[in-house]
Amino acid sequence: MLKLTSLPSIIVGMQTLRVNPLRTMLSTLGIIIGVASLVAILALGDGLEQFSREQIEFTTDLQTVIITTRTTERLNGVIVRRSDYAVLTREHAEALRAELSDMATTMLTLRGSAPVRLPGDTVRYAALIAGTLANVPDFLEFTMEEGRFFGRDEVQGDRPVVVLSNRLAAALAADGEGGPLPGSTIVIRERSYEIIGILEQAGNAETPIAYVPVTGAAALLAQDPPRTPTLMVKARHIEDVQAVEERARAWLDEHVGTADDHFTIATSTGRLAQAQQGILVFKLVMGAITGIAILVGGIGVMNVLLASVTERTREIGIRKSTGASRRDILVQFLAESVAISGVGSGIGVITGLTGAFVITAVIRQITEAPVYAAFTWGTVFVAGIVAVFVGIVFGTYPARRAAKLSPIEAIRHE
């Protein structure tokens, strides 16, 4: 830690920089370029990581823990069907939802495929049939285009109601007169269902799906062997996924059966970890490349300070002859070096962030991908560390050279 006696030496160093503003500016140029490149890379990397996280979350239910029944087992290398397996029910889903109400919600779904047609029509369409609970719109963040989703009473009473995806409604509309509307009916496996809602379109790759109450889905999708429902537990925050998984596993052990023996519990957090690892590698590689520019900038600072030591040899001699110690001279030149690096880093941070936001704006304009640069205080912290590091490392040799000058020889220097 610097003592108060070093303060005059620091002040002298700052005043010297003001005397030669052009030299100071030129000596900071390399630092500005290097730090700007580093900050731009970090900001772009943070933005790409956030974009990747959003895309993975959108496509893989990143916050969801998926619990499925183990209906088979491997014996002597052969997969055989189990006769004693646990079947998850609506009551299980509601009880687990109450258990995890502080950090997650649950949904039970039973899926299969079945032909769908309009009444009196012979043309059938293949559709995914999803038996679910009433909380699907909140769980999957659906938006209704027309009508509504079925309620809890309709699930408990196994009412013959259905909600169609936009793609399935459009396919039926192409064949029918005006298409299905809330209040009309469709036929699924020869059973009539009243259409009560149509979902908004979720993209060009949307699957044709018909949502029905889960209570009657087992009979509707009957097959041998029978299908088993899947229990989905959605954490409110990505950071809670592991805790939710552990609490769900403990609840299953206590109320249903040994989780590891009866169920398969899966999450998608591994894909996020892979994306984060890829972004980290990108940051490290590009950071190493931009480090070359910072190295060049540091060498420039050292050359300027060496020239300054030569020009100010008599000044150094006079200061030492009037009582300045080696340490005072060393601190003076180190202060100049750190100041030059600090100013360059400050300008570099602003330049790098500006460049990163401009680059992402161009990317959005060309690709229409929602990629944005991300500002974090960690980036500013890294820039500050770089400034101090470069100032000390590349200022040490000129400072030590100045501090070692003999006062008599320095005064006699021409």
Per-residue model confidence (pLDDT) at position 204: 57
At residue 5 the predicted structure's pLDDT band, cuts being 50, 70 and 90, is very low
Q: Which residues, in sequence order, are CB contacts of 124 under 8 Å at separation 6+?
A: 115, 116, 117
Amino acid at 296: V
What gap in Å lies between CA 14 and CA 332, rounded to an integer? Answer: 8
Q: Which residues, in sequence order, are CB contacts of 350 under 8 Å at separation 6+?
A: none
- The DSSP H or E segment spanning 224 is none
Mean pLDDT of 51-68: 73
Ramachandran bin of 406, using left for φ above 0, alpha for ψ from -120 to 50, beta for the remaining angles: beta
281-304 pLDDT, tens digit per residue, is 877 777 777 777 788 888 877 887
* Token pair 């495929």 in the structure block, residue: 113
* Token pair 């490290």 in the structure block, residue: 284
Residue 290 contacts residue 348 (beta carbons within 8 Å)? no
For residue 131, the SS3 value is strand
* Token pair 């300045």 in the structure block, residue: 324
Residue 304 contacts residue 17 (beta carbons within 8 Å)? no
Q: Residue 182: is its pLDDT beyond 50? A: yes
Residue 349 contacts residue 380 (beta carbons within 8 Å)? yes
CA nearest 63: which of 232, 230, 238, 233? 238
Mean pLDDT of 16-42: 76
Residue 132 contacts residue 231 (beta carbons within 8 Å)? no
Residues in the chain: 414
Q: What own/partner pairs with CB < 8 Å and gap ≥ 24 does 289-296 have?
A: 290/34, 290/37, 290/38, 290/41, 291/34, 291/38, 293/30, 293/33, 293/34, 293/37, 294/30, 294/31, 294/34, 294/35, 294/38, 294/386, 294/390, 295/34, 296/30, 296/34
At residue 177 the predicted structure's pLDDT band, cuts being 50, 70 and 90, is low
What gap in Å lies between CA 334 and CA 302, rounded to an integer? Answer: 10
* Token pair 């936009």 in the structure block, residue: 166
73-127 pLDDT, tens digit per residue, is 777 777 677 777 788 888 889 899 999 988 888 999 988 888 888 887 777 888 8
> pTM (2 decimals)?
0.58
118-142 pLDDT, tens digit per residue, is 887 777 888 899 999 988 888 887 8
333-343 pLDDT, tens digit per residue, is 788 778 878 88
Mean pLDDT of 29-42: 84
Output the furthest CA–CA distance in the chain (Å, rounded). 112
Per-residue model confidence (pLDDT) at position 318: 79
